[in-house]
A and B are shown apart, each in its own frame.
Chain A
Amino acid sequence: MLEIKNLSKKFENKNSGPKIVLDNVSLTVDKGEIALLLGPSGVGKSTLLRILNNLESYDKGSLRLDGHSLEEYKRNNKHATGMIFQQFNLFEHMNVEKNITFALEKSAHKSHKEAHEIATQLLNKFGLASKAKLPINKLSGGQKQRLAIARSIALKPLVLCFDEPTSALDPYLKSFVAQNIQELADEKYIVLVATHDVSLIEKLSCKIFLMDEGKIIETSSSAEFLAHPDQYPLIRNFVKGINENIDTKI
């Protein structure tokens, strides 16, 4: 179980002073669960994921994984968390397979043979086996995302963090990605998804944490919210606002 308690973070800005990006955020996510961090841009969702992946520090609060502090846990298993970035951030000068084997060899210290075997299994699993030797820019957006997931889970993390996983995808691919995320939760990963894509509420069986100005302002589950939207006015308004915005643009 991942437990985040009273997590706070502020960025120092020389011109405008300190900006609080996370303000006493607390949440728990169990194995096999998906936490949907919902909210507009700039409310601290991505920062939370970045903190979990050691890409940002935090000012106060505690992060615990399976009863141990995350720092302590990572001392023994530095791959406890994995991150799938919005822009995938694949290594563009390496081919598809090398994107997976590189971290296995250099970070998990697997032999070349072991790394190759793991990569082959994962490429098969994600339907990328025929692309193994291709350069990254020969992949479609959906394929890149599957490769990013494969690269991350190759290191066997407990927690998988998705930063805006559907923002650059068409509706068909969104459903496909949602299916991938759900399957990962079914495989008992702890999954956190930072998104403003409200369609994921319907596509995922998840906990919803609506965030605003660095705080969690309302929580629900996707099933509960879909059954009784009026009981969750802030989430309902956010969903309505996003959908109206989409309608206006259309």
Chain B
Amino acid sequence: MIDYNLLAEALPQLIIAAGKTLAIAFLSASIGFIGGTIIALLQMSANKLLNALLMTYVTIIRGTPMLLQIMFMYIMLPQFGINISAFATAVLAIGLNSCAYISQVIRSGIKSVNKGQIEAAQALGIKKFDLIRHIILPQAFIVVIPVLLNELITLIKDSSLASLIGVIELYKRGEIIISYSHNALLIYLCIGLIYLILTTTLTLFVNVIENKINKYVGN
């Protein structure tokens, strides 16, 4: 039997908490996108030491669980006198995790740009900044936009890990409701449904963007 009273009480709370889930995902994705782009561009440099450092970062992040990274950040930041909220810690940890993944996606996009165009720009006397901004990145991003949007979908799901350091996002709010209602099945179903609506909507958006890109590239 569905407890409609509980449903009526829980749903608004879960929907509000879903807003926080989205906030974590979008803010983390923004950090990941900016940081990932910077890492990808730095990896274009011929500096072997810099490349080795960046690859070490990417390897550590990709080789350890995000849960551990969030906990590590949660414990480590106060040791350095940095006292930020659990929400900010989660955004930072998930964002830095995303940086590593996104950097490699953007890097592959950069590598897909025809080297001849880069040489043509150099022969025309285009400065490096303009070359990166107007020639390399626009073409690299076109190739990787669907992958980047899929990363955002992953982040929406991963944001539930923020609950472990006390951030009251969708999953945590559900657990709180379960703790007093003792109707785990209904609440977990609601949580699952909300995640599904969020990710499916974004997936449909990704498909539209992907079709537009394919059309653009085809043209």
| Listed stretches B12-20, B26-34, B79-87, B121-129; interface member | B121-129
Which B167-218 residues sit within 8 Å CB-CB of chain A? none
Chain A residues with a Cβ closer than 8 Å to the other chain, count: 26
Q: Within 8 Å CB of B114, what residues of A?
A: 89, 92
Chain B, residues 92-127, CB within 8 Å of chain A (1/0): the string is 000000000000000000000010110111111111
- CB pair A85 B120 closer than 8 Å: yes
- CB pair A83 B120 closer than 8 Å: yes
- CB pair A78 B125 closer than 8 Å: yes
Q: Within 8 Å CB of B117, what residues of A?
A: 89-92
Chain A binding surface SS class = loop
Supposing A79-B125, A106-B130, A107-B125 touch, asked if A89 and B120 sit within 8 A by C-beta, the answer is yes
Q: Within 8 Å CB of B135, what residues of A?
A: 91
B166 within 8 A of A: no
- CB pair A55 B138 closer than 8 Å: no
| A85–B119 alpha-carbon span in the complex (Å) | 9
Q: Within 8 Å CB of A54, what residues of B?
A: 122-123
| Residue of A with least CB distance to B142 | A93
A102 within 8 A of B: yes
| Residue of B with least CB distance to A80 | B125
A165 within 8 A of B: no
Query: Closest Cβ of chain A: how far from B134's Cβ, in Å?
Result: 7
Q: Within 8 Å CB of A91, what residues of B?
A: 117, 120-121, 135
Taking Cβ atoms with an 8 Å cutoff, the residues of A that contact B are 53-55, 78-79, 81-83, 85, 87, 89-93, 102-103, 106-108, 135, 137-138, 151-152, 155
Taking Cβ atoms with an 8 Å cutoff, the residues of B that contact A are 114, 116-117, 119-127, 130, 134-135, 138-139, 142, 219
